[in-house]
Structure 1
């Protein structure tokens, strides 16, 4: 009779796949793009209200490379 110390494991890939599945369903890609378009349009409208004609640049936000 052979006794195994630990049960066999599927491996790293299967562990990652299970972790991803445990997160639940992810939004459809089309829904994601629709959300981004909405956020961009909202940001553009807020910028226009603030008197800006163009999106802010990294330099305007204080970011240096």
Structure 2
């Protein structure tokens, strides 16, 4: 009689929990990291603008204003 083998591992914590664990092991999704990065950048820009305003200046926005040669 031919033997049958199992090709899919048996879920240990329930199928949904195993899927969540596998997803967590892959790390953060691209959209999650993008949102966090953009939130950080917006906060840094607001802080820089506030510091520049207190010093009586404006934050530089273009490469030319920053003195960067292309």
Structures share a fold, TM > 0.5?
no
TM-score (norm 1): 0.44
TM-score (norm 2): 0.42
Structure whose CA Rg is larger:
2
